[in-house]
C-alpha cells in the first residue's frame, strides 16, 4: 500500500482517488480553501481530504490534478512538502478558447512538467495520463482500441514506480510508452490542441490520443 496525495478534487482527482483507493492505496484529496471534492459515486469509497500542504507533506507520491494554467504557481509554494517525492503531473496548461475548451498552450516551446521540474529541483516529476479524457485514466480497457499512456521524466526509478501505479489503474504494460526525459512532455502536452476539435464534433465520448501498431 502506498500513501498517495492528489492535489485537485475535481472530476480528474476524484476519479483517480476512488480507483486507487479500491486498489488498496491510502489516498487523500487535497483541496483549496472553501473547496469540496466532487460528489463520489454512490457505491464508491469515502475519500478523506485535507489542504494542499498537508496532503503533499503526508504522502509518498503526489498527483497534480489541479488546473494546468495555475498549477505552477500553486505547486511552487509546496517545495518543502514535495522534496524527494514523486510528483505525477496529469494536467495540461492551456489558455481557454471562448467556449471554455483548450485554445492554446501556456508554455509553447516548453511544458508544464518542465516548468514544475525546474521549480521543484528535488522532486521527481513524471508526466503521464494527460492525453485522454479523464474517464479513460482509470478505465483504459473500456476503449475498443488499446490506448497509450506516455511517460516523461528524468528519474528512471520514479518512472518504474509510476508504471506500477498505472497497472493499479488498469493499464497493460504494453500500452505504456516511455518517451524519455522530462523535455519530452512538451510533445504530449501539445497533443491537447487536437482535443477541443474532437470534443466539438463528438462530445465527451471517451477517447485517448494513441499509438496504433
Q: What is the pLDDT of residues 57-108, one digit of tens each?
A: 999 999 999 999 999 999 999 999 999 999 999 999 999 888 888 999 999 9
Q: What is the pLDDT of residues 103-132, one digit of tens each?
A: 999 999 999 999 999 999 999 999 999 999
- What is the pLDDT confidence band of residue 46, given thresholds at 50, 70 and 90? confident
- Please tell me the predicted confidence (pLDDT) of residue 65: 97
- Cell output for 93: 496548461
145 class by beta-carbon count within 10 Å (0-12 exposed, 13-18 middle, 19+ buried): exposed
Q: Reduced to 3 states, what is the DSSP secondary structure of residue 166?
A: helix
Nearest-angstrom CA–CA distance, 164 and 210:
20
How many other CB atoms sit within 10 Å of the CB of residue 171? 22
- Cell output for 103: 485554445
Nearest-angstrom CA–CA distance, 195 and 206:
11
Q: What is the pLDDT of residues 13-39, one digit of tens each?
A: 999 999 999 999 999 999 986 566 655
Mean predicted lDDT score pLDDT of the chain: 93
- Please tell me the predicted confidence (pLDDT) of residue 73: 97
Strand locations in the chain (E): 3-7, 26-31, 49-51, 61-64, 86-89, 94-96, 102-105, 124-127, 149-153, 176-180
- Cell output for 61: 507520491
pLDDT of 187 strictly over 80:
yes
Amino acid at each position: 500500500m502506498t500513501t498517495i496525495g492528489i492535489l485537485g478534487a475535481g472530476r480528474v482527482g476524484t476519479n483517480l482517488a476512488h480507483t486507487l483507493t479500491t486498489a488498496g492505496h491510502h489516498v487523500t484529496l487535497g483541496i483549496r480553501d472553501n473547496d469540496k471534492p466532487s460528489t463520489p459515486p454512490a457505491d464508491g469509497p469515502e475519500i478523506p481530504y485535507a489542504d494542499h500542504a498537508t496532503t503533499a507533506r503526508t504522502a509518498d507520491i503526489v498527483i497534480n490534478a489541479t488546473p494546468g494554467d495555475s498549477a505552477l504557481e500553486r505547486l511552487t509554494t509546496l517545495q518543502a512538502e514535495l522534496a524527494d517525492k514523486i510528483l505525477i503531473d496529469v494536467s495540461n496548461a492551456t489558455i481557454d478558447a471562448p467556449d471554455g475548451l483548450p485554445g492554446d498552450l501556456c508554455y509553447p516551446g516548453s511544458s508544464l512538467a518542465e516548468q514544475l521540474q525546474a521549480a521543484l529541483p528535488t522532486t521527481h516529476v513524471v508526466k503521464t495520463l494527460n492525453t485522454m479524457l479523464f474517464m479513460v485514466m482509470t478505465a483504459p480497457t473500456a476503449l475498443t482500441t488499446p490506448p497509450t499512456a506516455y511517460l516523461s521524466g528524468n528519474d528512471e526509478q520514479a518512472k518504474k514506480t509510476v508504471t506500477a501505479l498505472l497497472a493499479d489503474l488498469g493499464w497493460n504494460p504494453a500500452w505504456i510508452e516511455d518517451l524519455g526525459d522530462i523535455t519530452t512532455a512538451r510533445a504530449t502536452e501539445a497533443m491537447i490542441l487536437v482535443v477541443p476539435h474532437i470534443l466539438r464534433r463528438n462530445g465527451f465520448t471517451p477517447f485517448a490520443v494513441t499509438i496504433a501498431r
